[in-house]
Amino acid sequence: MENRRTTLADVARVAGVSRAAASRAINGRYGTSEEVRDHVRAVAARLGFEPHAVARALATGRTSANRRERVQVLIVDPDPDAMAAKPFYGRVLTGALRAIGDQDISLEVRRVSTAPAVDADPPFGQILINMPGPASAAYARRSRTIALGRSAPGVAFVAPDNEGGGYQAAMHLVTTGRRRIGAVFGPPTPCAQERKAGFLRVMDGVARAVLSVDGDFTRARAYAATQELLARDPGLDAVFASCDVTAMGVLQALREASRRVPQDVAVVGFDGSALAEAADLSSVYMPVEDEAAAAVHHLLDPALPAPGRLPTLLTVRGSS
């Protein structure tokens, strides 16, 4: 029988990896650990595998016809102006681009109102934001996936210590003597619910009632919610806003009601974005850029442990 040329499929089979993983390992591309690269290359050498010149050019991205690998940031947010109105998303893109650096990888951003069906041709990796748990699990079965924020069981995620941040905000208001405390919480997402839980844990511990309204992380909803809180208790002396954009709506409503900040009403936000610094807003800082960078690193090298939780820290400014 005529000797057959060793193929990439042969190398992948003997090495016990997928054909795509074998290609990446041989060509030194992202997406495989050093241990896997060494193993695959040793198998290739043992089998006498010689990459075809054209195939190698395709694999390494040195032909104009080759499409770059993509990392997609998939955002579920019904607000059509979300990318402009919410600094969080810009911070995510900044962190992701830092992690990608000069590698030949395209960063793609997609915002949708509701969770879409899984792509027939999914990108190399996906960072999911605000994706419902079942949908996250479906995406994870098709491509490398990591969520920003707790998601479905088994789906890797990276998130700030939201509950700890909510706890810090509440402790600050209580220990600085605020007694008639209101809150504009967030939508029914894991991150918002965790912030709410941490905040209420303090209030429950000191047997302090909290006037609250659920918001949606938009300024307009927070403005209306604050008006509602003031109507229910004109003597309100503190408001916790579940994100900095929410805090902007709170501050606007307080200003129009002639309530001085912080003399009459203290305000604490959550994010630690540039908005907080510009508005002299006390806010719980969360390291969004580090979260996004950790997510990208995990996509490019799944051998890295899932990032998990990153710490949050309250920065006290003039609003409280």
For the CA atoms of 205, 250, 237, 235, the dihedral, rounded to the nearest 10 degrees, stands at -120
pLDDT at residue 77 is higher than 90: yes
Furthest-apart CA pair in the chain: how many Å? 92
Residue 26 has phi, psi (to 5 degrees) of -65, -35
Segments in 133-189 forming alpha helices (H): 133-140, 162-175
Predicted confidence (pLDDT) per residue in 239-252, tens digit = 999 999 999 999 99
Q: Do residues 274 and 292 both lie within one domain?
A: no
On whether residue 3 sits in a domain, the answer given is no
Kindly report the length of the chain. 320
Q: What is the pLDDT of residue 10?
A: 85
Q: What is the Cα–Cα distance from 255 to 117, expressed in whole angstroms?
A: 44
Task: Measure the CA–CA gap between 189 and 131, rounded to whole angstroms.
Answer: 9
pLDDT score of 135: 87
At 43, which CATH number? 1.10.260.40
Alpha carbon of residue 86 to chain centroid? 13
- pLDDT of 57: 40
pLDDT band, very low/low/confident/very high, at 112 (cuts 50, 70, 90) = very high
pLDDT above 80 for 44? yes
Find the mean pLDDT for residues 71-89: 93
With a cut of 50, say whether residue 24 has pLDDT above it: yes
Domain-embedded: residue 319 = no
Q: Are residues 281 and 167 in the same domain?
A: yes
More confident residue, 224 or 101: 224
| Residue 109 belongs to a domain | yes
Look at residue 54 in the predicted model and tell me its pLDDT. Answer: 36
pLDDT at 12: 85
- Structure confidence at residue 276 (pLDDT): 96
The alpha carbon torsion through 263, 265, 270, 274 (nearest 10 deg) reads -50
Does residue 119 lie in a domain region? yes
Specify the pLDDT at position 40: 87
Confidence of residue 226 (pLDDT cuts 50, 70, 90): very high
DSSP secondary structure string for all residues of 255-295? HHTT--TTTT-EEEEEE--HHHHHTT-EEEE--HHHHHHHH
Residues 138 and 36 in one domain: no
pLDDT higher than threshold 80 for residue 65: no
What lies within 8 Å, CB to CB, of 231 at 6+ separation is none
Mean pLDDT in residue range 122-130: 89
Task: Place 148 in a pLDDT band, splitting at 50, 70 and 90.
Answer: very high
Q: Using CA atoms, how far apart are residues 215 and 213, in angstroms rounded to an integer?
A: 6
Please check whether residues 145 and 199 belong to one and the same domain.
no
Radius of gyration of the chain (CA): 24
pLDDT digits (tens, 9 = 90+) for 259-316: 999 999 999 999 999 999 999 999 999 999 999 999 999 988 877 777 889 999 999 9
DSSP assignment string, 59-124: HHT-STTSPPEEEEEEEE-S-TTHHHH-HHHHHHHHHHHHHHTTSSEEEEEEEESSPPPPPSS--S
Residues 55 and 86 in one domain: no
Interatomic CA distance for residues 68 and 229, integer angstroms: 51
Q: Identify the pLDDT of residue 117.
A: 84
Please state, in angstroms and rounded to a whole number, the distance separating the CA atoms of residues 114 and 104. 30
Is residue 117 located within the same domain as residue 192? no
Dihedral of the alpha carbons of 276, 78, 192, 284, in degrees to the nearest 10: -10
pTM of the model: 0.77
Question: Residue 175: CB partners within 8 Å, gap ≥ 6?
Answer: none
d(CA 93, CA 96): 5
Domain coverage including residue 224? 162-285
Q: Give me the CATH number covering residue 231.
A: 3.40.50.2300
Question: What percent of the chain stands above pLDDT 90?
Answer: 61
Edge to edge, the sheet with strand 210-214 lists 210-214, 181-185, 238-241, 266-271, 282-285, 313-315
DSSP state of 310: E
Total domains in the chain come to 3
**Distance between CA atoms of 60 and 178, rounded to whole angstroms?**
61
pLDDT at 61: 44
In a domain, 292, yes or no: yes
Highest mean pLDDT, choosing among 8-17, 61-70, 149-158, 216-225: 216-225
262 preceded by a cis bond (ω within 30 of 0): yes
Considering the domain architecture, whether residues 131 and 234 belong to the same structural domain is answered as no
pLDDT top residue among 182 and 31: 182
Higher pLDDT, 93 or 13: 93
Express as a percent the part of the chain with pLDDT over 70.
91
- Mean of the pLDDT values across residues 109-116? 92
pLDDT of residue 26: 76
